[in-house]
Amino acid sequence: MAKTNGLIDTQGNPLRARASQRPVARYMRDTSSGVIASRMVPLIESRDDIRASWQRSAALALDLIKNSGRLRGAADQVIADTVGTGLKLSPTPDFTGMGWSDDQILDWKKIVKKRWARYRASAKEVDFRGKFSLSQLTDIALRYNMAYGEVTGLLEYMPASFRRRYGIKTGTKLCLIPPHRLVQDTNETENLFQGVYQDENGRPIGYLFQERLNGFTSKTRYDAFDRRGRAAVLHVFDPQDALDVRGISVLASAFRSHIQHEKLNDVTLQTSILQNIFAITLTSDKPTMEAFEALETLKSENVKGADDYAEQYVDYLKSNLESAAEQEIMVGDSPQISQLVHGEELKFQTSGIPGPQYFPLSSDLSRITARAIGITHGSFTLDHSSATYSSVRMDNSSIWPVVERRRDRCAVPVERPVYEGWLDEEIFTGNIPFKDGYRAFDANREAILPASLHGPAKPTADDGKSAKAATERLENGTSSVELESADLGIDSEDLFDQRLDLHRRYIDAGMDSPYARRGRGANEPKSGTAPDQEDPQS
């Protein structure tokens, strides 16, 4: 008989598991309760899913933000983290091969930054409707992104006749349009998908907007680019898939958790109110039904004197009830307790809501929503009761790349095309000088237009420790003034110019400059010499 390894039955045959119970090494292996099988979902393209859910998602997001102080505050927090009071421009042109000296480049960049600061702060100059500054328009764009998942608008050039009428000088204007005005129409034969026309390569070439004029609604197509290839339509969104055409609200993945949280709060509050309203109990030592049943038993067994005893007892209870009827207990706006009957006790109960399970569940639901929005749990709930120095540092370290990414993908693409169109116009009109004229700029447009847009400073848990760490990085050569200034939301060139100007003013006035190096650096004493002593050999 051949040797067999493993379990065998009574006849010596090897035991085998039934097919339904055999372990399977594969993905999607379900549990015995069929938890995976119970979740039936279709496999569809991301853009089709977005098209089917876009309108409902946008309407629900807008409604939640309007009716939730927490979500409204979260939107403000997103704006504050991403752009602060406004993005700061730092031109980074490449003048290689154009014959520009370093001084000419620095002077040119100073002129650009000064004129841009005036332009972006003027609502009449930057906004097509003349109502908002560029900082305010960027705030609106970030709110659009939170509710709609995208930003739409037109980059317009206002003719000279209108500029004279409004008393303005520049023609470059930004006109933001609510994303729901970009229609949901889809026609595959015309390469139109959810309001966006595409060419055979999938590149956007036009947008179909719904417009209202003098009470009439019409659909108008706008080309994505003008005749010179410059952007004419602003459409900014964060895609989930390479085939995506439109964006969707960042709240879409958190709708369920946020609504569940609202219901949890409502039910908890209502239960607590009910418990507080009915938290007063009146107890009495008066006999219950069992006492009367005992008297009836005595009567039925013909106990001597039972009838008289029962009659006397009933009279006693009757007198007590008549006395109690004259007393009054009122609970309301004007509480009143006149007098309790002998044997009665008035108790005030305490509410048992919220229970110990409420706070962990509430915190978890809040954490889900905060993560979907892209802010920390502490900034979303304003609850820092359990925060420590290490936890705050970890929160900042994990969320700051999200903030920088949102700035780069959502805020900067709104302002950059405005800057590029404005700079083109300024050089063309001669308001900003350019060596060899506009033709030289147009020939080197791609090299001249690049610029960095900086946001607010990176938050820190301890400013002193952060400043010391930055100093150490600069001294050991693992960082630079440009990188450290960027973390603080400061333009390094502006910082240098300010320090240089103030340093010279202090020196010219015969005062000690706060910017003079002390202790270490270029003027550090020779090795072995105390900082406060002069070298005897000098």
What is the residue extent of each domain of the chain? Answer: 46-186+224-255+398-453, 462-511
Measuring CA to CA, which residue among 525, 414, 430 is closest to residue 82? 414
Q: Cis bond leading into 42, ω under 30°?
A: no
**CB contact burial 22-38 (16+ within 10 A = b; e otherwise):** eeeeeeeeeeeeeeeee
- Binned at pLDDT 50, 70 and 90, residue 317 comes out as low
Crossing angle of helices 134-147 and 412-429, rounded to 10°: 150
- Binned at pLDDT 50, 70 and 90, residue 237 comes out as very high
In contact, 435 and 101? CB cutoff 8 Å: no
DSSP assignment, residue 350?
P
What's CA 195's distance to the chain center, in Å?
A: 27
Does pLDDT of 214 surpass 90? Answer: no
Does pLDDT of 530 surpass 50? Answer: no
Instruction: Give the amino acid at 134.
Output: L
The number of residues in the chain equals: 538
Highest-scoring range by mean pLDDT, 169-183, 264-278, 372-386: 169-183
Measuring CA to CA, which residue among 27, 69, 428, 24 is closest to residue 230? 428
Q: What is the per-residue pLDDT across 24-42, written as a single tens digit (0 to 9) for each? A: 667 887 787 888 888 888 8
Both tokens of 172, joined, read 């470059």
Q: What integer is the mean pLDDT of 352-371? A: 86
Does pLDDT of 318 surpass 60? Answer: yes
**CB contact burial 194-204 (16+ within 10 A = b; e otherwise):** bbbbbeeeeeb
Distance CA 473, CA 482 (A): 12
Going from the C-alpha of 308 to that of each of 292, 296, 299, the distances in angstroms are: 14, 12, 10
Distance CA 139, CA 414 (A): 10
Both tokens of 175, joined, read 């006109």
pTM of the model: 0.77
Does pLDDT of 217 surpass 80? Answer: yes
DSSP assignment, residue 286?
-
Looking at per-residue pLDDT, the higher value among 497 and 199 belongs to 199
Going from the C-alpha of 286 to that of each of 203, 317, 341, the distances in angstroms are: 87, 8, 10
Distance CA 18, CA 530 (A): 86
Q: What is the per-residue pLDDT across 330-351, written as a single tens digit (0 to 9) for each? A: 555 555 555 555 566 656 666 6
Contacts of 504 (CB under 8 A, 6+ apart): none
DSSP assignment, residue 15?
P
Contacts of 215 (CB under 8 A, 6+ apart): none
Distance CA 7, CA 15 (A): 6
pLDDT of res. 61: 96
Measuring CA to CA, which residue among 397, 407, 394 is closest to residue 453? 407
The region that residue 234 occupies, defined by phi over 0 for left and psi between -120 and 50 for alpha, beta otherwise, is beta
Both tokens of 325, joined, read 């009827």
Q: What integer is the mean pLDDT of 361-375? A: 93
Distance CA 401, CA 404 (A): 5
Both tokens of 145, joined, read 């992104």
pLDDT of res. 224: 95
Contacts of 204 (CB under 8 A, 6+ apart): 196, 197, 198, 224, 235, 245
In contact, 88 and 405? CB cutoff 8 Å: no
pLDDT of res. 358: 85
Quickly tell me which residue has 């706060």 as its tokens: 514
Q: What integer is the mean pLDDT of 459-467? A: 83
pLDDT above 90 covers a percentage of the chain that reads 52
Does pLDDT of 104 surpass 90? Answer: yes
**Helices first, then strands: H and E counts in the chain:** 18, 13
Looking at per-residue pLDDT, the higher value among 442 and 36 belongs to 442
Distance CA 479, CA 50 (A): 43
The distance in angstroms from the start CA to the end CA of the chain is: 105
Element (H, E) at 152: strand 150-157
Q: What integer is the mean pLDDT of 60-69? A: 95
Measuring CA to CA, which residue among 427, 418, 451, 407 is closest to residue 126? 418
Looking at per-residue pLDDT, the higher value among 446 and 25 belongs to 446
Q: What integer is the mean pLDDT of 80-105? A: 92
